[in-house]
Amino acid sequence: MKRNIISIVLSLVILIPALITSYITFTSIRSEIKLNLFGKITTAEVIATRIRPITAEKIIYELQYAFFIDDQKYPLPTDDNEDNDDENWASLPKQQWESAKESGKVEILFLPADPTNNHPVFSDGSFFYEMAITLIVLLVISIGCGLSINHQLKIINSRVHTDKQRQ
């Protein structure tokens, strides 16, 4: 019985973060779908570019941009330490990044009802692919943990029921 309780606790330790991460991923996908359905495309000015090597094989190409809607500048700059704020940088595929760096312009998709909800128009479908794979993996982990907890609870319940019948 002690081993079953340890299995349940271990499954919960894995399940709870997996469910939280699944929810966050689902929310990002829902926001992205909304942006793709109702968003408008405009051209933004490239403010800065950078290259971030992650590993020897993986390099991330990023840029910062700004655009105007009704004389309001987006994305809104932050006052605190803009240079180190990774949220102000957008990742792009290498060819698209090189083109934006050279021209000083990048096409962005924004939500007219909330222009702070924006990102560059991607030349590939990598965002949806990566998010879908992440969500599927997290859901599989969640289902596995849930089934494990269910199985362990059935074992505990049957043992408790058997112990009561013996008395």
Q: Enter the tokens of residue 62.
A: 């990023």
Q: What pLDDT score does 66 carry?
A: 93
pTM tops 0.75: no
Whole-angstrom distance, CA of residue 21 vs CA of residue 41? 30
Task: List per-residue pLDDT tens for the chain, 167 residues long.
Answer: 677 777 777 777 877 887 788 788 777 778 878 888 899 999 999 999 999 998 888 899 999 999 999 888 887 555 454 555 566 788 888 999 999 999 999 999 999 998 988 889 875 556 667 777 777 887 788 788 778 778 777 877 777 777 777 76
Every domain of the chain and the residues it spans: 2-166
Q: Enter the tokens of residue 68.
A: 């105007």
Tell which residue, 27, 100, 34, 36, has the closest CA to residue 63. 100
93: left (phi over 0), alpha (psi -120 to 50) or beta: beta
Residue at token pair 């969640």: 142
